[in-house]
Structure 1
Amino acid sequence: MVDIAAIHGINMHRSQRSAMQQSWHTAMVDGLANIRSRHTGTLSLECAFYGHEYNDGKAGGEPEYAAIDIAPGLEEELLIAIGDGLEEDAGGDNEGTGTKLYLPGMVQRALAAIQRSDLFDGRDSRAIAFVKQVNRYLTDPDFRKLVHTEVSAVMEQSPRVVIAHSLGSVIAYEWLRENEPENPPALITLGSPLGLEPVRRRLLQRPGPLGWPGQVRSWTNIAARHDAVAMVKKLAPLYSPDVRDLPCDNPRRSAHSALVYLANVRTSRAIEVALA
């Protein structure tokens, strides 16, 4: 048995399992130490690492995309949703600021918002890599199977808590809907795009209605104020009134960072409650 199963999000294709294991464990332990948790010295963690699967030469593994590489459909829709979140956070709509006139107007506006922001370091290429990696997971059944096989291997260790960041929250949600772990875990989602309409539409194409994700003991969703990936901060109205939605205040530049989320006091207290 392991305390926590951790499922990462996008842009981990140049990382390694060992690096994730070390950095995530350190961030969680630091946060638990801040609240004087009794679990600080004993916390055990197993990572569901799938980032390397993007390095097969298909869409999602190349970090230097250009605007021309954006595919119509889900990729465009996700960029627009993120751009809307950034503009809402900035308190304006910034109409007409884009210069990439060969792109649809709403997409060029979204890219302009990303360039002005610190999200994805303000780089088009990282934003486009994000939407491509999400798109591949949601639309490529063979890739999705590889990812779920990795999650299944971790879940065999009967974790007490599943912590999932970004795209990892979508993966955790789907896996828990489709499987019945012998020991139901608590679920903690961080910076989740589960509230974005383009993601929800794709999930609705799977068998069964959206709602509570299977046999989980609890679901805590934590969303940072400036995190445009988690533009929809409250998942309870969309999935179940039993979801506990908590705001947090990550620094704007690192609002979507997994490590910043993991060390945040909201996450630390959620872990403490889940391990009680």
Structure 2
Amino acid sequence: MARVVCIHGIGQQYAGERQLHTAWHPALADGLLRAGTVSALDADEVRCVFYGDLFRPPGRTLAVQDPPLDASDVDEGFETELLLSIWAEAARTDEAVLPPDARTLARTPQTVQRALNALSRSRFFAGVALRGLVLDLKQVRAYLCDPAVQTAVQERVAAAVTDRTRVVVGHSLGSVVAYEALCAHPEWPVRGLLTLGSPLGIRNLVYDRLRKPGAWPGGVGTWTNIADEGDVVALVKDLRPLFGDRVDCHLVHNGSRAHDATRYLNTPQVGRAVTDGCGLD
């Protein structure tokens, strides 16, 4: 039974729990090494919760792919607001991205297209097809705004946590999932929450939609939040103003793949947090 439960973020609809485990466990093991931890976590002590299939669109056996989405598929309201927030942050951290101007105050289809065009030049979104970016926006909205999706995801987390689980790791949207799961289950024996590349600090779009915004996550003793300066998903790097000074916040450098989960996991900051939470030496 797993001592560490990991929860993935957006864009994993074509992956699976075993595939994620193959990448995440070695990266976490390297993080422990970087932290100077002598004890190791065996593969069966780390479990990846998978919920990406909830967002996988139906398709024919020989042609499973992202649906042909474009700017017109970005819905008004939540999806447009999140897209524009990401655009502004990408422009702040990447000189290749043209910044939005006053005209973006009018939420028009042209504004959405300009945002997508600008983000296509970003190092952060290198190799990400436009339809994939639009689908990612829809996944965030689905979890935060659709109670059925939220319930289904939370049930999978609850099924993975046992009386032996000591640390929960959430990456990207998975950090929101992890936070809400721990808030809902203060009886769990989890000692540490670790959030990586988290959007929890986005006030209007994420934080205000939490079921318990600002609450301490259940019975955990420590909460470590780690962000890369260039990670546009983690729009707010310091979560302490919203969640309290007990949150231990760190900045790391992940290179050109600022939001990559494995680059977060192999840092000494992650290694130390897991070491402390699991009582390793």
- The interval holding the TM-score normalised by the smaller chain is 0.7 to 0.9
**CA 1:66 to 1:209, structure 2 compared with 1: closer, same or farther past 3 Å?**
closer
**CA 1:263 to 1:178, structure 2 compared with 1: closer, same or farther past 3 Å?**
same
Task: Give 1:273's aligned residue.
Answer: 276
Unaligned runs of 5+ in 1: none
Task: Give 2:88's aligned residue.
Answer: 84
RMSD of aligned Cα (Å): 2.4
Q: Is the 8 A contact 2:57 2:66 kept in 1?
A: no
1:130 aligns with 2:131: no
Please, which moves more after superposition, 75-84 or 36-45? 36-45
Equivalent pairs counted in the alignment come to 266
The residue identity in structure 2 corresponding to 1:49 is F
**CA 1:12 to 1:95, structure 2 compared with 1: closer, same or farther past 3 Å?**
closer
Q: Is the 8 A contact 1:158 1:182 kept in 2?
A: no
**CA 1:36 to 1:167, structure 2 compared with 1: closer, same or farther past 3 Å?**
same
Aligned-pair CA distance for 1:110: 2.9
Indicate the structure whose relative CO is greater, using CA pairs within 8 Å and at least 6 residues apart. Answer: 2
Q: Is the 8 A contact 1:114 1:124 kept in 2?
A: no
Q: Is the 8 A contact 1:10 1:166 kept in 2?
A: yes
Name which of 252, 259, 263 aligns with 1:260: 263
Q: Is the 8 A contact 1:83 1:109 kept in 2?
A: no
CA distance in 2, matches of 1:6, 1:131: 22
1:24 aligns with 2:24: yes
Name which of 70, 75, 88 aligns with 1:66: 70
1:12 aligns with 2:12: yes
Q: Is the 8 A contact 2:231 2:259 kept in 1?
A: yes
TM-score, length of structure 1 as denominator length:
0.88
CA distance in 1, matches of 2:238, 2:114: 25
Task: Give 2:56's aligned residue.
Answer: 55
Q: Is the 8 A contact 2:196 2:261 kept in 1?
A: yes
Task: Give 2:62's aligned residue.
Answer: none
Task: Give 1:176's aligned residue.
Answer: 182
Please, which moves more after superposition, 119-128 or 47-56? 119-128
Q: Is the 8 A contact 2:167 2:193 kept in 1?
A: yes
The residue identity in structure 2 corresponding to 1:131 is L
Aligned-pair CA distance for 1:95: 4.5
Q: Is the 8 A contact 1:85 1:228 kept in 2?
A: yes
Q: Is the 8 A contact 1:193 1:229 kept in 2?
A: yes
1:199 aligns with 2:229: no
